[in-house]
């Protein structure tokens, strides 16, 4: 029989989505890594699972996994893709709470929650001013997952990103964004993602970059964030919630051979 999967992307940040709403999924981290592998699996930046919701008001429970097998509390681009896949305006239950979505003119919006700005919630290893960290004068916040934003050339992402992801200041590691301010309403961004490496776009990273840049007075609270394959519009609303709007594209559907899903049976890397 096997199990069908959907491949989608948001600005080139790509996902394999497994629908476990009818049949519960068992996914050991080794299997997640194998499915994400671009040579020996399907290939994606994150694996996404759908399950029946456990909270009132939610339409679906969504979980996000990195290629290294770790679970992330938030993934902005995958949230848009799931909303587009399900259609309508589903409310997503995530580790970061319930995320309302809407769709207009082919673009998908997700209300990503409120940013966490205090050092304990990000989390950081010790107390600091999160708007001015003692690390390349970056700024940090959590969008349900930890982000450091550095205001410097996006060209530094490949070299500095992997070093800073595991800096002792971040007990749960961090996503490292490189934001190059173009104007008060536009920044360019490249993100080294925790557990995934360099990706073509990062939705939660775009939200974090605008929040962190706005805290420093570098941009306004509505800002266009340009990444390799296109842009997201991010608004840090007056009610403190962050709204993210951008495209979500279906790539293909496929069927996973059932031997992949039998624990311990996935082809070895
Ligand atoms: N690509 C994502 C973020 C995915 C999770 C991240 N790597 C983490 O571990 O926190 C996005 O679009 O937000």
Q: Which residues pair with 101 in a beta bridge?
A: 110
CA distances in angstroms from 203 to 34, 126, 234, listed in the order given: 24, 27, 9
Question: 109 lies in a domain?
Answer: no
Residue in 253, 250, 252 with CA at minimum distance from that of residue 108: 250
Cis peptide before 123 (omega within 30 of 0): yes
Please determine, for residue 269, whether its predicted confidence score (pLDDT) is greater than 50.
no
Query: Do 213 and 223 form a contact (C-beta atoms < 8 A)?
Result: yes
Q: What is the mean pLDDT of the chain?
A: 96
Q: Which residues are catalytic?
A: 75, 202
| Residue 176 to residues 78, 95, 133, Cα–Cα distance (Å) | 18, 20, 13
Residue 82 covered by a domain: yes
- Residue 257: per-residue pLDDT: 84
Q: Of ligand 1's atoms, which has the minimum distance to the CA of residue 73?
A: 10
In a domain, 115, yes or no: no
Same domain, 39 and 68: yes
8 lines ligand 1 (CB under 6 A): no
**Angle of CA points 204, 45, 80, to nearest 5°:** 45
Residue 194 labelled as part of a binding site: yes
pLDDT tens figures, 67-114: 999 999 999 999 999 999 999 999 999 999 999 999 999 999 999 999
Residue 174 lies in a domain: yes
Q: Which residue has the higher pLDDT, 269 or 39?
A: 39
Q: 56 in a domain, yes or no?
A: yes
Task: Kindly give the distance from the C-alpha atom of residue 139 to the centroid of ligand 1, in angstroms, as a whole number.
Answer: 17
Continuous H helices in the chain: 29-36, 76-86, 157-165, 203-215, 258-261
* Structural domain contains residue 63: yes
State pLDDT tens for residues 206-254.
999 999 999 999 999 999 999 999 999 999 999 999 999 999 999 999 9
The answer on 256 and 211 residing in a single domain is no
Q: Is the CB of 13 under 6 A from ligand 1?
A: yes
26-35, 181-190, 224-233, 253-262, range with the lowest pLDDT: 253-262
Q: Which residue has the higher pLDDT, 256 or 179?
A: 179
Domain-embedded: residue 84: yes
Q: What is the pTM of this model?
A: 0.96
Is the same domain home to 177 and 257?
A: no
Nearest CA to ligand 1 atom 1: 202
What CATH number did the domain enclosing 84 receive? Answer: 3.10.310.10
Tell how far the Cα of 193 is from the centroid of ligand 1, in angstroms. 6
The total number of structural domains in the chain stands at: 2
The answer to whether position 233 is within a domain reads yes
> Annotated binding residue at 145?
yes
Residue with tokens 């550095």: 150
Q: Is the CB of 195 under 6 A from ligand 1?
A: yes
* 193 among annotated binding-site residues: yes
Query: Domain range spanning residue 157?
Result: 139-240
């Amino acid at each position: 029989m096997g199990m069908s999967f959907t491949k989608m992307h948001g600005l080139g940040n790509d996902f394999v989505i497994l629908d476990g709403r009818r049949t519960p999924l068992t996914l050991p981290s080794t299997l997640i890594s194998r499915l994400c592998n671009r040579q020996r699996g399907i290939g994606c930046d994150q694996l996404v699972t759908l399950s029946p919701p456990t909270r009132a008001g939610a339409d679906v429970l969504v979980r996000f996994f990195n290629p290294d097998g770790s679970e992330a509390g938030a993934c902005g681009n995958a949230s848009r893709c799931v909303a587009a896949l399900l259609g309508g305006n589903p409310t997503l239950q995530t580790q970061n709470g319930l995320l309302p979505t809407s769709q207009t003119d082919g673009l998908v919006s997700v209300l990503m929650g409120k940013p966490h700005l205090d050092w304990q919630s990000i989390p950081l290893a010790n107390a600091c001013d999160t708007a001015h960290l003692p690390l390349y004068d970056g700024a940090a916040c959590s969008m349900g997952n930890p982000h450091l934003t550095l205001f410097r050339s996006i060209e530094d992402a490949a070299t500095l990103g992997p070093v800073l992801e595991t800096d002792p200041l971040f007990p749960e590691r961090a996503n490292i964004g490189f934001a190059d301010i173009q104007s008060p309403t536009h920044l360019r961004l490249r993100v080294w993602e925790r557990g995934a490496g360099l990706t073509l776009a990062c939705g939660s990273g775009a939200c974090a970059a605008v929040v962190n840049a706005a805290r420093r007075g570098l941009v306004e609270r509505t800002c266009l964030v340009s990444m390799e394959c296109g842009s997201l519009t991010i608004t840090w609303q007056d009610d403190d919630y962050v709204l993210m709007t951008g495209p979500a594209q279906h790539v293909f559907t496929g069927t996973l051979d059932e031997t992949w899903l039998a624990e311990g049976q996935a082809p070895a890397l």
